[in-house]
Amino acid sequence: MSAHASGDGGLAAAAAGAAAQHGPRPGTRAQRHSGPGRGSRRFPRITRDTARPEGGGRAASGQAPAPARQWPLLTVMSGVAAGLLVVALDAHRAGTLVIGFSLLLGALLRWLLPSVGMLAVRSRFTDMVTYGLLGSLIVVLSMMTQPDPWLEIPFLEDLMEFTVR
């Protein structure tokens, strides 16, 4: 059915579609109640932006080059890359220790610095726990690797015997 045959119904639908795209019409009730201090309580149909995590601002001023603004992330990533290179050169324990300590450094930077750039992924607490837990586990597991482990945890051997049988 065409817009001419349906009367004003087609024009009203087009106007409603335009209002949905561009917000409420001036002078309407919706426009009066959604002023600059009052937002809609409805969730948007399409998310246009996400909130930056706490501390996710630049680590250096905006005039600094991009690598300098992201120095905390680059420090952690270069430590992990160096550890992977050491592992590739067949020094597994030393390489995994470097990787684990790099993640622990990331947790420390996340705790101490107010802005860490893209090292901030989630909330400060969640980032610190994630980096710290993963770094600690990697360090402990690298100290337990065979042959000649630096760290022996007796109950883990008993646990393995119990679960494997």
**CA dist 80 → 40, 73, 139, 142, 143 (Å):** 45, 11, 13, 14, 17
Position with higher pLDDT, 134 vs 51: 134
The confidence score (pLDDT) of residue 37 equals 57
The confidence score (pLDDT) of residue 87 equals 95
**CA dist 109 → 101, 103, 104, 112, 132 (Å):** 12, 10, 9, 5, 11
Q: What is the pTM of this model?
A: 0.62
Q: For residue 39, which phi and psi values (nearest 5 degrees)?
A: -100, 170
Helix axes 92-112, 124-143, angle to 10 degrees: 160
Question: Taking residues 122-140, what's their average pLDDT?
Answer: 93
The confidence score (pLDDT) of residue 3 equals 47
Position with higher pLDDT, 79 vs 48: 79
Measured between alpha carbons, how far is 90 from 144 in angstroms, rounded to an integer? Answer: 17
